Structures are given as C-alpha cells and as structure tokens.
C-alpha cells in the first residue's frame, strides 16, 4: 500500500483518538487535514495560528509519539496555516510554521507571504456586510477626566491614567489595572483614559468593552465557526479597555483566547486597560498565566472618597447640572453617605428631584429625610474580603493570621466568625466562602456556622463578639 500524507495522518489520528477525550479530539483534530509528505516530514493544515499554538501547548507530546510511530525517530511535522478567506481578498494565504523544538520536529524554513498587508477585518460592532466602517470606540463622552475629581482616594489611579493617555503603550503601566469596590469610578476612569487618547491620537483604534460582552462575542464566534475573525479583530486594536475583568473567572475558553490576544497586543506595543472589583492577588478562578500578566504593569486601587473629596464631587455635580445648593446641605449629604460616588450622586439627584416635583425648598430637614430613605433603601454590598478585614481588626490580627492553618483557639474562633458573617451577609456559596477564607472546604464553613450559633447561646463573651462585629458590618 502506498504511503501518503493522508494515510500517515489517518494512522496518527487513530492513535490520538484512543488516547484523548472525544470532545477534545472533535475540536482540535477533526478540522486538521494532511497536505504533504516529504521524506520524513508531514505537513498538516490547521485553521489558524491560535489553533497551532493550542496544539503545541497541549498536544505536542502525543503528536510526537504518534508521528514517531509512523515515520521513525527522524519524523518532522510542519504546520500550514490557511487563513479563512473572510477579508475580501480573492485568495487565501498560508503560513508554514515548523513545530517547536519541544515536539517532533525542527525545520528552518518559515514562509509567510506578504500579499495581505491590509486585510479588512470583520468588526463585531457593525452589521456584517458593511465595508470600510470605522470601529466605534464604545466610549461614553460624559465620562471624562474633567469630571473625575482628584482626591487622596484616587490620586495614583488618576495620574497613572493620565500618563497612559499621554503615551499609550509607551509607559511601564501596561497593562493598567484599575480595581476597587462598587461605584468608586473604575468605569468612569477607564472611559476617561480612552477619550483622552482619542483626542490626542485620532488615528489610534480605541475600544471599550465589558468582559461579559467579550465573553458572549467569543461564544458566538465559536458557534458560528469564525473564531479567527474574533481573534484577528481584537489583534488590530491599539488601546483595548476591558471592564470588570473578574467576569472571566471560571471561563477557561475565554481566558485562553484573551491570553493570546493580550500577548499579541502587549508584544506589539499596544495598550491594555483593565478594571476589576478586586486586586489580582484576590481574583478567584483566573488562570495563573493571566494573573501574572495582569501584574506586569500597574495595579492601582480606587478607595472610598474622603469627606473633602465627597464635597468636591457634589459641588462639581451641581455646577454641571446648573443647580445651586447651600454648603451646609451639601456637607450634610457628604457626611452621611460615605460608601461610594454612585450613591453620593444618587442621593443629590433624589434631593433635587424631590424638591422640584413637590415644589419644596431644599432644606436640611428635606436633606435628612432623603438621606435616611436613601441609606435605608441602599443595601450595602459587604464583601468576604471586607468581613475578614473587620474581624481581623476586631481581634487585632492580620488577615493572613486569620487565614492560616494554626489551631490556636482565639484564631480559630476569629476564622469561624468570619465564615459565619460571610454566610450571613453575602450570597457566596459555602465552597466559595471556604476557598476565600484560608482555602477551607464547604464542610468546614458549615461546621463554623454551627459552632458560632452554639457558642452565641452558651458563652456570654462570645455573644459579645458576635454583637460587636455585627454592628461594625451593619454601619
């Protein structure tokens, strides 16, 4: 029987199919076709460079074994990448890449034709079929640096944002990760950087997108079998802004594709800006290789604004809306709403609306009435991190001590209290609470909650701990 590229590859596939999961075989091996057999070198065609990188990263060993069985120890494998013809050019182009030295093969020849310098890439944000459409940045013009007031709580992040806007991709702040709690201005600052870059560098392609929408686009691209278009589209962005990157948690496929996009952008001097509700060190279910890249640049925290900054924010808001208000009323609102900027602005809008609709003068009494209702109706989101900090501070220990493996009674009790309050004040699962408080399992959390309930009813001192911490968390 004549030995052909197809017969060699079919034998390799039979071996591979017996040694990997059916779904993995269907996804990563069925789309491959054998194209040429020369001496001991087999050329196979794969749909994209991303596809080739995935094979090299995950299946290089099994490829080597399968090929050596068929062609001997001198076997070589050459990848031929046939780009999908989605860019309006008449002919597809190919890229021949030797497999890495880790695998079955070594080859010195790399042939990348240059007849596709300016492909028209598909734009996920415009209707398919419309040609030569400029990529819309998706930026909100209301979120500018002009109305992002500087204070001690945001000075580092704001100044880093200005530096990036002045020289995108040219500072050490790449990526720039802005993190902090709800309503502190992460999205506002990300938009402001993008707007400033567009003003200074009109020729640059800037794109803002939420991690949720990015994930949905990726899923759609897999369903429609145009993942290459998805990857190539994001690789042409000059400044990529991804909001709420923690949303990628647990989504391994999206994380993998973002890893490759991130690498391409970073290596080509493009700017990446990310926002998150927590620092990289506290992110759960994000791959280590991504987390390590998040730490390459600068992680800048936005904290709750101090009293002076809150007053400035309110005055700026009123000035922009053309509303006058007495200083003592502004100060009253700023003093009583401390959590975040969104709630602060929401309260002042409610106050103006109430005054306008009911034709009431804005007085301290009206402000008190509105603020009380607003604070009562705005349930504060208490995080597991915050609970651990409050409990640790109460017992005068570090969070790392609270999370440690020690069995000292007072530390164990502090840890159990943290677990108890995490279950009471958050919607997190027992498993999630356990993993965040010292990497325990759900059974440990359940035991902790029962222990706290029992001790609260039998131990007067312990009951005081529960009451004191409850008050601190209820503020």
Kindly state the tokens that stand for 458.
Answer: 């039998």
Task: List the one residue out of 60, 49, 145, 140 whose CA is nearest residue 99.
Answer: 60
Q: At a CB cut-off of 8 Å and minimum separation 6, what does 278 contact?
A: 179, 246, 385
Question: Binding site for ATP: residue ranges?
Answer: 183, 185-187
The angle subtended at Cα 295 by Cα 426 and Cα 217, nearest 5°, is: 70
What's the sign of the alpha-carbon dihedral 421, 427, 433, 437?
A: negative
Q: How far is it, in rounded angstroms, from Cα 358 to Cα 347?
A: 16
Question: What's the token pair of residue 267?
Answer: 């290596």
DSSP secondary structure of 53-120:
HHHHHHSHHHHHHHHHHHH-TT-EEEEEEE--S-SS-SS--EEEEEPPTTTT------B---S-SS--
Q: C-alpha angle with apex 466: 337 to 417, nearest 5 degrees?
A: 100
Cβ atoms 54, 231 nearer than 8 A: no
* Strand order, beta sheet including 206-210: 206-210, 239-243, 271-276, 176-180, 298-302
Identify the DSSP state of 111. B
Strand, coil or helix: what is 271? Answer: strand
Which secondary-structure segment (H or E) carries 220? helix 211-223
Q: How far apart are alpha carbons 155 and 178 in whole angstroms?
A: 12
CA distance 144 to 146: 5
Compute CA distances 471 → 122, 421, 445, 466, 468, whole Å.
55, 12, 22, 9, 5
Could you give the angle at the alpha carbon of 41 between the alpha carbons of 39 and 46, nearest 5°?
145
Beta-sheet pairing, 76-82 with 41-46: parallel
CA 221/CA 215 separation, integer angstroms:
10
Contact 420, 446 (CB under 8 A): no
Task: Give the three-state DSSP class for 177.
Answer: strand
Pick from 142, 85, 143: nearest CA to 115: 85
Residues whose CB falls within 8 Å of the CB of residue 108, separated by 6 or more in sequence, listed in order: 98
Q: Count other Cβ atoms within 10 Å, centred on residue 128.
A: 9
Tokens of 18: 């017996």
């Amino acid at each position: 029987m004549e030995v052909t590229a197809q017969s060699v590859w079919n034998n390799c596939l039979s071996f591979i199919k017996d040694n990997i999961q059916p779904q993995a075989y269907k996804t990563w091996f069925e789309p491959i076709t054998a194209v040429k057999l020369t001496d001991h070198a087999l050329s196979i065609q794969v749909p994209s460079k991303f596809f080739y990188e995935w094979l090299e990263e995950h299946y290089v060993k099994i490829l080597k074994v399968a090929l050596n069985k068929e062609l001997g120890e001198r076997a070589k494998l050459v990848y031929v990448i046939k780009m999908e013809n989605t860019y309006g050019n008449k002919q597809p182009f190919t890229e021949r890449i030797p497999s890495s030295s880790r695998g079955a093969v070594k080859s010195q020849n790399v042939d990348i034709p240059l007849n596709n310098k300016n492909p028209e890439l598909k734009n996920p944000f415009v209707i398919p079929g419309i040609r030569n459409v400029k990529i819309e940045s998706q930026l909100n013009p209301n979120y500018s640096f002009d109305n992002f007031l500087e204070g001690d709580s945001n000075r580092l992040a704001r100044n880093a944002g200005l530096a990036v806007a002045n020289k995108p991709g040219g500072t050490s702040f790449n990526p720039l990760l802005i993190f902090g709690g709800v309503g502190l201005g992460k999205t506002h600052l990300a938009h402001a950087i993008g707007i400033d870059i567009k003003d200074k560098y009109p020729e640059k392609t800037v794109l803002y997108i939420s991690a949720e929408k990015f994930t949905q686009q990726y899923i759609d691209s897999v369903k429609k079998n145009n993942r290459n278009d998805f990857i190539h589209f994001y690789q042409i962005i000059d400044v990529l802004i991804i909001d709420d990157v923690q949303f990628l948690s647990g989504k391994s496929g999206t994380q993998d594709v973002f890893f490759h996009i991130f690498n391409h952008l970073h290596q080509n001097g493009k700017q990446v800006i990310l926002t998150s509700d927590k620092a990289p060190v506290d992110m759960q279910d994000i791959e280590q290789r991504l987390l390590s890249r998040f730490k390459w640049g600068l992680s800048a925290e936005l904290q709750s604004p101090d009293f002076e900054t809150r007053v400035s924010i309110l005055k700026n808001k009123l000035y922009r809306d053309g509303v006058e208000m007495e200083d003592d009323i502004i100060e009253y609102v700023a003093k009583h709403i401390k959590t975040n900027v969104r709630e602060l602005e929401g309260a002042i809008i409610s106050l103006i609306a109430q005054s306008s609709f009911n034709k009431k003068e804005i007085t301290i009494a009206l402000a008190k009435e509105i603020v009380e209702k607003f604070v009562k109706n705005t349930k504060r989101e208490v995080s597991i991190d915050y609970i651990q900090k409050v409990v640790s501070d109460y017992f005068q220990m570090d969070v790392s001590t609270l999370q440690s493996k020690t069995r000292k009674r007072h530390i164990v009790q502090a840890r159990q209290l943290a677990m108890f309050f995490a279950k009471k004040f958050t919607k997190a699962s027992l498993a999630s609470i356990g993993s965040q408080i010292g990497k325990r399992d759900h059974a440990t959390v359940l035991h902790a909650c029962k222990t706290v309930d029992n001790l609260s009813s039998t131990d007067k001192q312990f009951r005081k701990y529960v009451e004191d911490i409850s008050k601190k968390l209820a503020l």
